[in-house]
Structure 1
Amino acid sequence: MRAAVLTTPGEPLQVRPVSASPLEPDEILVRIVGVGVCHTDFAALSGAVPLPLPAVVGHEGSGVVEQTGADVTDLAVGDHVVLSFDCCRECSQCRAGHPAYCELFAAMNYFGTRLDGEATLRDEAGEPVHGSWFGQSSFATHAVASARNAVRVDPSLPLELLGPLGCGLLTGAGTVLNVLRPQPGQRIGVWGLGAVGLAAIMAAKAAGCSVIVGVDPNQERRRIAADLGATHTIDPTATSDVAWDVLEVSDGGLDFSVDAVGLGSVIREALAVLRTPGTCATVGLQGLENDITIDQGHLLIGRTLTGVIEGDADPRTFIPQLIQLWQDGKFPFDRLIETFGFEEIDKAIDAAASGRVVKPVLVMA
């Protein structure tokens, strides 16, 4: 197997041979068919998330099961799967249906090893290569995952395109459908029209929102948002008062807002345009430490600001729901995707970082 290995933060990835360590009883080995490039990967590549090096990231993988551990009974060799984040499935949050808030989430997704501290990958010299990024590390031809974070899908589906359902698209759509839960006719705005924000736009349209506002300085992203269901789009660089413009097009305010940027100024805007009561969900990641300042008056009159991880979704049930919405023509996420060969990984990362491509997907040869 080969993997795109990060050796120095900020430096290009090196595609090199690696090997998988023997599977634990609850693990599977997946031959990766496609993997999305997500902005959360950038946090590890830049060093903003202190992942031990060398390491392999990538966490929107889809592929075919090639091997199963001794205790895996619900998956078999040959199954087509989408990989998402890992969770213990045993703590109180997991049992309550909120695996994104698993008590072991950080250890199972960010630390680069299994829970016992062992690495899932080795280099040619037999030295550890840190994996387990979101329970998979799928910037590779193969990934070691657990049966917990693999979702079986119909083999007739275009497997190479399904990986982004495991994180970015799940986050945006889940924030709308699982957390905000708008009713038909309600009004919503989305700040930041990357993959997460555009997934929120599509989900809002599927939910029947009557006013859907998209805010982004990128003209092409605004065009895509309009094609996907936004009723109004706003360029924040072309107006002196975004909040006023939103209030005007929404006839006095929104019921819900989604911040997919993470800047304090954006969160303040997204709160200021809410009706009372109204809820703003912030999902944008600007680093593990990100101080923001908000006006308490925006909360005292009945508004709510909430943070959301992974759309508060259970991938086992929500990914099939998103696939069904796509099959029904209500969640056309494939329109966001541009594919790249695995050897073009740096090109794909640059395309995502520059905003030229909404969702690059690496397709393995």
Structure 2
Amino acid sequence: MTTTTRAAVVESGGAPFTLCEVELDDPGPGEALVRMVATGLCHTDLGVASGGLPFPLPGVLGHEGAGVVEAVGPGVTGVEPGDHVVLSFTSCGGCRNCRDGHPAYCATWLPLNLIGGRRADGTGTISRDGTPLGGHFFGQSSFAERALVDERSLVKVDPEVPLASIAPLGCGVQTGVGAVWNVLRPRAGSTLVVLGAGAVGLSAVMAAALTPAARIIAVDRVAERLALARELGATHTVDAAEADLAEALALLTDGQGADGVVETTGSVAVLRQGADALAARGTLVVVGAPPFGTEVALDVNGLLPGKQIVGITLGDSETQTFIPALVQLVKEGRLPLHRLIGTYPFAEIDQAVRDMRAGKTIKPVLTF
């Protein structure tokens, strides 16, 4: 038996999303069928849809889903039909990093989430007219009215919180928040710089505002984004379109540099500026992902005063504890995620893509 559902299919690299009927397998061991209520649109989806990553197309993307469990497969114990869930990334659960509470660094993370398009055993989850499609994207492929989801991608959440308000927690928001809370861990009086005021960067700003950091400096080239950053907790802003970034940061940090920098733009030029802006013993967290193989030149001697450059995936979060904590903060109004979200009916996915690329909407969320 299969489940027929409507999905947004990318036929080939650079093609628009096409709404059509597809067939989902019945839930197998460790899987659940989820009726989608909302799903966020992320730049990772756009990068894969453009053909920039070797994900098998035609395929179904989507990796910030939120919905209601309809059925579970054998061995699933963490959720049951009727549960509200946020969907995040999947992982093997058995490698050293998974066992150590760092599933975002799973030994098989890339094929399970980003480029494989299949289950770990090589079988497909989605087909169309009997032909397999790329699926299992982040263990979910949630650009569809229903999704077949890995149990390790599922996080049970408070049913009182509207799912459309928390769908982006599965990727972009937990990435920005985790960069601050799980890596930088600001101490009292710290200075943090967030490079880029998109969804991830503004999530980092909101997270920093919930720490003892004394100065939170948001950097972007769009005045409206900087104004929003101030409303969300930034104490200072720098318009990189008008000011020399190095001079501005030196002035704002009294020449001492930043204790922590979160780089979200994916620009190696901006990354280099962030590294140069670090204080002694400061840490730069690299979030933005340029094309594979991209390199950056660094002043090695400039790193010797205890400076660190750290990469991060999905906030280095353990989703089963991290995401419910974020949901609680959203519920209490302490993480005003709604300020970033613009909602679109699922059928208007291409409009959401255009608005996101144009910068009109910070975090599009598709609703079903």
Q: TM-score, normalised by structure 1?
A: 0.97
Q: Deviations over 1:129-183 (max 9, x none)?
A: 1111111110110111111110001111111221100000000000100111102
* 1:319 paired residue number: 323
Q: Deviations over 1:66-125 (max 9, x none)?
A: 1100111221001000000001111110111100000110121021111121111111x2
Task: Verify: 1:284 aligned to 2:256, yes or no.
Answer: no
* 1:143 paired residue number: 147
Alpha-carbon deviation of 1:327?
A: 3.0
Corresponding letter in the other structure for 2:127: R
1: CA distance, partners of 2:83 / 2:28: 19
SS class of match (2:274): helix
SS class of match (1:270): helix
Pick from 25, 29, 33 the counterpart of residue 37 of structure 2.
33
Task: Verify: 1:121 aligned to 2:121, yes or no.
Answer: no
Corresponding letter in the other structure for 1:139: F
Bigger drift between 92-101 and 110-119 goes to: 110-119
Alpha-carbon deviation of 1:29?
A: 0.6
Alpha-carbon deviation of 1:328?
A: 3.4
* 1:85 paired residue number: 89
Pick from 143, 161, 164 the counterpart of residue 160 of structure 1.
164
2: CA distance, partners of 1:289 / 1:66: 41
Q: Is the 2:39–2:62 contact (alpha carbons within 8 Å) kept by the matching residues of 1? A: yes
SS class of match (1:238): coil
Pick from 193, 198, 202 the counterpart of residue 202 of structure 2.
198
SS class of match (2:295): coil
Corresponding letter in the other structure for 1:104: T
Alpha-carbon deviation of 1:251?
A: 2.1
Corresponding letter in the other structure for 1:251: D
Alpha-carbon deviation of 1:44?
A: 0.5
Alpha-carbon deviation of 1:184?
A: 2.7
1: CA distance, partners of 2:332 / 2:158: 15
2: CA distance, partners of 1:132 / 1:172: 24
Q: Is the 1:43–1:287 contact (alpha carbons within 8 Å) kept by the matching residues of 2? A: no
Cα RMSD, aligned residues only = 1.0
2: CA distance, partners of 1:159 / 1:328: 15
Percent same amino acid among aligned pairs?
45
Q: Is the 2:190–2:213 contact (alpha carbons within 8 Å) kept by the matching residues of 1? A: yes
Bigger drift between 325-334 and 296-305 goes to: 325-334
Pairing of 1:36-75 with structure 2 (within 5 A): 36-75=40-79
Pick from 218, 222, 229 the counterpart of residue 225 of structure 1.
229
2: CA distance, partners of 1:329 / 1:95: 33
* 1:250 paired residue number: 253
Q: Is the 2:117–2:137 contact (alpha carbons within 8 Å) kept by the matching residues of 1? A: yes
1: CA distance, partners of 2:112 / 2:216: 36
2: CA distance, partners of 1:220 / 1:200: 17
* 1:7 paired residue number: 11
SS class of match (1:326): helix
Corresponding letter in the other structure for 1:38: C
SS class of match (2:241): helix
Task: Verify: 1:184 aligned to 2:179, yes or no.
Answer: no
* 2:304 paired residue number: 300
Q: Which runs of 5+ in 1 are unaligned?
A: none
Q: Deviations over 1:200-239 (max 9, x none)?
A: 0000011121101111101111111011011111111112
* 2:176 paired residue number: 172
Alpha-carbon deviation of 1:58?
A: 0.7
Q: Which runs of 5+ in 2 are unaligned?
A: none
* 1:355 paired residue number: 359
2: CA distance, partners of 1:329 / 1:250: 30
Residues 1:210 and 1:224: Cα distance change in structure 2 (over 3 Å): same
Corresponding letter in the other structure for 1:146: D
SS class of match (1:349): helix
Alpha-carbon deviation of 1:42?
A: 1.2
2: CA distance, partners of 1:161 / 1:10: 29
* 2:211 paired residue number: 207
Alpha-carbon deviation of 1:324?
A: 2.1
2: CA distance, partners of 1:289 / 1:332: 36
Alpha-carbon deviation of 1:270?
A: 0.8
2: CA distance, partners of 1:313 / 1:154: 19
Q: Is the 2:161–2:327 contact (alpha carbons within 8 Å) kept by the matching residues of 1? A: no
Bigger drift between 219-228 and 319-328 goes to: 319-328
2: CA distance, partners of 1:160 / 1:302: 42
Alpha-carbon deviation of 1:325?
A: 2.2
Q: TM-score, normalised by structure 2?
A: 0.96
Corresponding letter in the other structure for 1:303: K
Bigger drift between 169-178 and 230-239 goes to: 230-239
